């Protein structure tokens, strides 16, 4: 197993060093690893999960919207090449990417300080599949980072596909100023098992794990107010303790959150005054604040 090498011992053999992805030592030249792209961004936040269907894109969307609402210049890079859902969740799925200067791609703007790039903007229709091998996906990811007119960003939220494959590895190798990764799971054992793999994957790449979010953590009955643990409970918190990483909190399973994503209106900006909405919104807001706290404490 590879180990981190002190700078004084660097021999340019990046394949034997666990810090190679984040290393800026001149000896890295010629190692074959892609260099960091040039971007004016203070913090890159990765959002990933060990398996699909846990609400990763929902978390990424609400996180980006939350940051933008706080006044931060924010971008979302949807690098889930085969299943790009961010545009749908933001109500901009009919938009297309354009270029004003003919050199760089202009992100689709959701609001004045929130821009988005996604493979979905390049497809002829929403049912068109992307049938690409790794090399083509890596090229697209590099373009989403480097060839987009992001301007000066406070935060770039990167929505990754499930698992620990090409896309996640490419982003970690190429994106500058990665502040850390948020791991999304649901409470049941199968999801927690896969999320644990994501945590160890990120740690092996010498990236900070900002923490684990337990999504779909119980359903609050809209009729009686009782909590029903459809998928169990506490799995995310237990995993965080076992892996010695922060626990960012739980987000309940709320039909309104599903509706918000389907309608392209992020839950984080929806407040209807009902008790159920207040409870869910507070959970979401607490999770987002905990993510910011982990970044500021770094």
Instruction: Give the residue extent of every domain in the chain.
Output: 36-296
First to last CA, the chain: 27
More confident of the two residues 221 and 128 = 128
Classify domain 36-296 by CATH architecture: 3-Layer(aba) Sandwich (3.40)
Residue set of the binding site: 50-57
Closest C-alpha to 182, from 293, 39, 71 = 293
**CB 184 within 8 Å of CB 56:** yes
Average pLDDT over residues 17-45: 69
Specify the DSSP element, H or E, that contains 57.
Answer: helix 56-69
Does the pLDDT at position 220 exceed 80? no
What letter would DSSP give residue 211? E
Instruction: Retrieve residue 230's tokens.
Output: 């459809």
Question: Rounded to whole angstroms, how far apart are CA atoms 264 and 89?
Answer: 4
What letter would DSSP give residue 118? E
Residue set of the binding site for ATP: 50-57
Closest C-alpha to 55, from 273, 276, 267 = 267
More confident of the two residues 275 and 61 = 61
Per the prediction, the chain carries an average pLDDT of: 84
3-class secondary structure, 7: helix
pLDDT of residue 15: 55
CB neighbours (10 Å) of residue 142? 17
Question: Rounded to whole angstroms, how far apart are CA atoms 14 and 30?
Answer: 10
pLDDT band at 26 (very low <50, low <70, confident <90, very high): very low
Instruction: Retrieve residue 24's tokens.
Output: 């800026």
Closest C-alpha to 253, from 228, 235, 285 = 228
Question: What backbone phi and psi angles, to 5 degrees, belong to 211?
Answer: 150, 175
Average pLDDT over residues 111-115: 93
């Amino acid at each position: 197993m590879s180990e981190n090498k002190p700078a004084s011992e660097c021999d340019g053999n990046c394949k034997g060093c666990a810090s190679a992805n984040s290393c800026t030592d001149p000896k890295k030249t010629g190692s074959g690893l892609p260099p960091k792209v040039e971007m004016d961004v203070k913090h890159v936040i990765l959002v990933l999960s060990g398996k699909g269907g846990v609400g990763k894109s929902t978390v990424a969307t609400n996180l980006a919207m939350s940051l933008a609402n706080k006044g931060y210049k924010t971008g979302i890079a949807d690098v889930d090449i085969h299943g790009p859902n961010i545009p749908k969740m933001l109500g901009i799925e009919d938009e297309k990417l354009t270029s004003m200067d003919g050199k760089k791609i202009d992100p689709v703007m959701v609001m004045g300080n929130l821009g988005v790039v996604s493979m979905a903007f390049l497809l002829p229709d929403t049912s068109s599949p992307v049938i690409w091998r790794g090399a083509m996906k890596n090229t697209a990811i590099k373009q989403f980072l480097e060839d987009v007119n992001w301007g000066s960003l406070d935060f770039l939220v990167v929505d990754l596909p499930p698992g620990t494959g090409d896309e996640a590895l490419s982003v970690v190798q190429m994106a500058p100023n990665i502040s850390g990764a948020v791991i999304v799971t649901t409470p049941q054992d199968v999801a927690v098992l896969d999320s644990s793999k994501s945590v160890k994957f990120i740690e092996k790449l010498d990236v900070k794990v900002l923490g684990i979010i337990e999504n779909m953590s119980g359903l609050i009955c809209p009729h009686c107010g009782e909590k029903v643990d459809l998928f169990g409970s506490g799995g995310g918190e237990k995993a965080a303790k076992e892996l010695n990483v922060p626990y960012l909190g739980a987000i309940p399973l709320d039909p309104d959150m599903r509706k918000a994503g389907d309608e392209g209106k992020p839950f984080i900006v929806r407040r209807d005054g009902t008790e159920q909405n207040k409870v869910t919104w507070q959970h979401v807001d607490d999770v987002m604040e905990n993510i910011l706290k982990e970044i500021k404490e770094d």
